[in-house]
Amino acid sequence: MKNFRTFLGYLILILIALSMLYPFFAMINLSFVSENEIFTNSHQLIHTHLTLQNYKNVFTQIPLARYFLNSLFVATLTTIGQVIFAAFSGYAFARMKFKYRDAIFLGFLITMLIPPQVNIIPLFFLMRELHMVNTYQALILPGLFGGFGVFLMRQYFLSFPKELEDSSKIDGCNLFQSFFKIALPLALPTVATLAIFTFVTTWNSFLWPLIITNSEGMRTLPVGLAIFKGSFREITMWGELLACSVICTIPVVGVFLLGKKYFINDIMQGGVKE
């Protein structure tokens, strides 16, 4: 009976996984077929007449490489900055004692309750006053600071064994040395989890890049893709849109695969209680 339940559980998980993977596989498969075949033979699981014409058309019609590099640059720097700020702040809130510490941390938590759309107008006016409209600074700076990252890192450092820090102090390490040599290396799974979330969120960001940029050379990939879709007049070129969608997902999947081991370890550690 136990083996049957295990088999049934795995079967359900496999079916759920296949139902989620099929649209992704269909998107990749249909991006390599002609426009006519998408509608005439879209029910086929695997197409034999494959072509790269959709990808060639996309790169010739819009500056897709520029959009891609803009998104990659902004998402990478935002992720690095977010991780650095959250790691330092989370460690300070968890391990250091200073005046109004809990009140300041409560302020960070309150920011998580505010919808991002509420901040767009005042943030735009701030960037305009700083002469940062249509710049990389405007795309990167607002994403460097977030309450979720600080909260996530603080919760990890609160569970960090204090005995390890005491041992490092006995060996002559100061606070910064304990952080860089002991705490931060052991927090790598949590850091990787935060990096994945930040990269995916920044990569998929649409509204803020749409508002703060006004030139083609500064557009990110989601904005460029939306404008490209809006350029169709009578017939939507689904093959080219699918090709753009495939290109959009490559970095996200790559980042997840790179941090998969640490991401899974962090989830497993969070699910284990002593």
pLDDT (tens, 9 = 90+) of the chain, 274 residues, equals: 667 788 888 889 899 988 888 888 888 888 888 877 777 765 666 766 788 888 988 888 889 899 999 999 999 999 999 999 999 999 999 888 888 888 989 888 888 888 888 889 999 999 999 999 999 999 999 999 888 999 999 998 988 887 877 787 777 788 788 888 888 888 888 898 899 999 999 999 999 999 999 888 899 999 988 888 776 656 778 888 888 889 889 898 888 888 777 766 655 555 444 4
Res 175: pLDDT: 78
- Helix, strand, coil percent content, the chain, rounded in steps of 5: 75, 0, 25
Q: Decide: residue 172, CB within 10 A, 0-12 exposed, 13-18 middle, 19+ buried.
A: exposed
* CATH class of the domain comprising 62-271: mainly alpha
Chain mean position to CA 144? 13
Res 137: pLDDT: 94
Q: Measure the CA–CA gap between 190 and 168, rounded to whole angstroms.
A: 21
Res 21: pLDDT: 86
Res 167: pLDDT: 81
Res 218: pLDDT: 92
Tokens encoding 141: 């700076």
Distances (CA, A) of 184 to 97, 117, 125, 159: 19, 33, 37, 13
Eight-class DSSP state of 179? I
Instruction: Pick the closest to residue 237 from 58, 67, 63 (CA basis).
Output: 58
Q: Which residue has the tokens 């460029």?
A: 224
Tokens encoding 101: 């510490």
Do 67 and 139 touch, CB atoms closer than 8 A?
Answer: no
Q: Measure the CA–CA gap between 95 and 169, rounded to whole angstroms.
A: 14
Do 67 and 224 touch, CB atoms closer than 8 A?
Answer: yes
Distances (CA, A) of 3 to 6, 8, 10: 5, 9, 11
CB atoms within 10 A of CB 145: 15
Three-state secondary-structure class, residue 28: helix
Contacts of 115 (CB under 8 A, 6+ apart): none
